[in-house]
């Protein structure tokens, strides 16, 4: 019989087995043979799938032969059940590391990009001082490009008078002569580090502060070369401001003694300051420098520090016995009005004697008139200033 009469043969297996190459049907598989095949072929694990998928993919009642690959062994993508999809939405990105136990102490991206200053946080080094309302210290520079007008004497004794009133005070010596440093018994030639290292090498200002009657950031003769060393630095006008940012919350007042010039050291002091006190010797030539100082302050306000203002003009070394001194004070009051302090610093030998002892006049002669002059000035500044 031919191949087309296959369906009429009674011995054709109904299990779907193919005919052999010689045209004869294969021998029917007995129960013993089936048991032997099942014993040799280990059962393959069936993957978990939904009942609908099993009905569609597997042929019914058909047992694969050992020579044919089992369809179950071919990996196929499994549909993700709904609970798994919900978890995928909440999982972090693939490249993100697994959360650790201390993740709750880490900063978020929002905090890193827009940090918020909390009360009690230290100011980071290099930060600008900012507005006075944001910090504790009031910063006052004592400036006049003319020398010999009692800038150093006023800086030290007013700072000590503030301290007597219960305030924490830092005095900064920016004068290369180091007179303020010597007035507190420190030899400028023997200090290891000074304000030169703070401004040029940017070391922390705490490393040059020494405790005396008040805290003092000492100077050395090296400051004479600071302006040249700073001239090539970017932001050189703000070197002192950046250095002070680390300590402005430690003090109530910072008093800065400046050199007798309007160079880069004085510009640094004015850029960092809120107020300027101008000591003026009661002589005509000393008062002429006020015009130049006002021009410098205007330049600082326009380009570097809009908040700096003149706290007051202080008549110093006043000899009330001379007509010239009286006329000089009258000229000051006529031209500057309420900017002139009511306090007067009169001549006294104690001002020359106190630095020899390495102390302020308030400590050297606490009951004398010279000490009282600066106590009166401190009260005026603390209450309402020159106005």
Q: Are 173 and 167 in contact (CB under 8 A)?
A: no
Q: What is the DSSP string of 305-320?
A: -TT-EEEEEEEESB-T
More confident residue, 177 or 287: 177
pLDDT recorded at residue 316 = 94
- Residue 74 confidence class, pLDDT cut points 50, 70, 90: low
Q: Which residue has the tokens 């939904």?
A: 50
pLDDT greater than 60 at residue 214: yes
| C-alpha to C-alpha distances, 376 to 86, 153, 243, 253, 314, nearest whole angstrom | 76, 15, 31, 17, 12
Q: What does DSSP say about strands 209-211 and 215-217: parallel, antiparallel, or unpaired?
A: antiparallel
Per-residue pLDDT tens over the stretch 289-331: 788 888 889 999 999 999 999 999 999 999 888 888 888 888 8
Q: What is the mean pLDDT of residues 102-114?
A: 47
Give the integer Cα–Cα distance in Å for 16 and 359: 117
Whole-angstrom distance, CA of residue 152 vs CA of residue 257: 6
* Arithmetic mean of pLDDT, 199-216: 96
Indicate if the pLDDT at residue 111 is higher than 60. Answer: no
Element (H, E) at 350: helix 350-356
Stretch 264-272: mean pLDDT: 95
- The model carries a pTM of 0.66
Burial class (CB in 10 A: 0-12, 13-18, 19+), 246: middle
pLDDT at residue 118 greater than cutoff 60: no
User: Among 42-56, 127-141, 262-276, 296-310, where is mean pLDDT lowest?
Assistant: 42-56
The pLDDT assigned to 88 comes to 46
CA contacts within 13 A on the Cβ side of 355: 17
Cβ contact 134:248 at 8 Å: no
Other CB atoms within 10 Å distance of the CB of residue 263: 13
Q: What is the pLDDT of residues 60-70, one digit of tens each?
A: 555 544 455 45
Q: What homologous superfamily is domain 132-383 in, according to CATH?
A: P-loop containing nucleotide triphosphate hydrolases (3.40.50.300)
3-state class (DSSP) for residue 171: strand
pLDDT band at 135; cut points 50, 70, 90: confident
User: Is pLDDT of 11 > 80?
Assistant: no
Mean pLDDT of the chain: 77
Beta bridge partners of 346: 318
Domain boundaries, the chain: 132-383
135-144, 235-244, 277-286 — which is least confidently predicted? 277-286
Strands (E), 202-257: 209-211, 215-217, 253-257
52-62 pLDDT, tens digit each? 444 444 445 55
Give CA–CA dist 375/143, Å, rounded.
20
Give the per-residue pLDDT at 106: 52
Q: Looking up tokens 């010239």, which residue turns up?
A: 324
- The per-residue pLDDT for range 327-340, each reduced to its tens digit, is 888 888 988 889 99
- For residue 130, is pLDDT > 90? no
Residues found in the chain: 387
For residue 97, name the pLDDT band (cuts at 50, 70, 90).
low
> Could you give the percent of the chain with pLDDT greater than 70?
64
336-355 confidence digits (pLDDT tens): 889 999 999 999 999 999 99
Could you tell me which of 280, 275, 244, 245 has the C-alpha nearest to residue 260?
Answer: 280
Q: Assign 116 a pLDDT band (cuts: 50, 70, 90).
A: very low
pLDDT score recorded for residue 173:
97
Query: How far is C-alpha 125 from the geometric centre of its chain's CA atoms?
Result: 5
Closest alpha carbon to 264 in 299, 292, 226, 293? 226
- Residue 41: pLDDT band (50, 70, 90) is low
What is the predicted pLDDT for the residue at 19?
47
Whether residue 227 is predicted with pLDDT greater than 50 in this model: the reply is yes
């Amino acid at each position: 019989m031919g191949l087309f009469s296959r369906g009429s043969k009674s011995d054709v297996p109904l299990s779907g087995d193919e005919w052999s190459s010689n045209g004869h049907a294969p021998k029917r598989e007995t129960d013993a043979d089936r048991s032997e095949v099942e014993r040799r072929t280990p059962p393959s694990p069936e993957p978990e799938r939904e009942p609908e998928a099993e009905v569609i993919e597997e042929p019914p009642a058909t047992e694969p032969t050992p020579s044919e690959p089992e369809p179950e062994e071919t990996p196929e993508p499994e549909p993700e059940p709904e609970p798994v999809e919900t978890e995928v939405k909440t999982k972090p990105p693939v490249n993100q590391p697994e959360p650790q136990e201390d993740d709750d102490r880490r900063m978020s991206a929002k905090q890193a990009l827009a940090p918020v200053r909390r009360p009690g946080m230290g100011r980071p080094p290099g930060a600008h001082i900012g507005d006075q309302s944001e910090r504790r210290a009031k910063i006052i520079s004592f400036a006049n490009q003319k020398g010999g007008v009692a800038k150093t004497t006023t800086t030290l004794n007013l700072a000590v008078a503030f301290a007597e009133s219960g305030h924490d005070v830092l005095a900064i010596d920016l004068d290369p002569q180091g007179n303020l440093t010597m007035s507190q018994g420190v030899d400028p030639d023997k200090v290891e580090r000074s304000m030169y290292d703070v401004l040029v090498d940017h070391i922390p200002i705490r490393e040059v502060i020494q405790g005396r009657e008040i805290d003092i950031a000492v100077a050395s003769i090296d400051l004479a070369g600071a302006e040249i060393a700073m001239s090539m630095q970017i932001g050189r006008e703000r070197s002192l401001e950046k250095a002070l940012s680390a300590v402005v919350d430690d003090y109530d007042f910072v008093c800065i003694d400046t050199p007798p010039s309007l160079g880069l050291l004085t510009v640094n002091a004015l850029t960092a300051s809120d107020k300027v006190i101008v000591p003026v010797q009661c002589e005509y030539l000393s008062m002429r420098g006020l015009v130049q100082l006002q021009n410098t302050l205007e330049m600082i306000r326009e380009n570097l520090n809009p908040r700096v203002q003149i706290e007051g003009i202080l008549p110093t070394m006043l000899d009330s016995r001379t007509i010239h001194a009286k006329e000089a004070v009258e000229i000051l009051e006529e031209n500057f009005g309420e900017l002139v302090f009511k306090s007067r610093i009169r001549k006294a030998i104690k001002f020359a004697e106190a630095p020899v002892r390495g102390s302020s006049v308030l400590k050297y002669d606490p009951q004398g008139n010279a000490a009282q002059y600066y106590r009166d000035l401190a009260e005026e500044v603390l209450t309402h200033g020159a106005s």
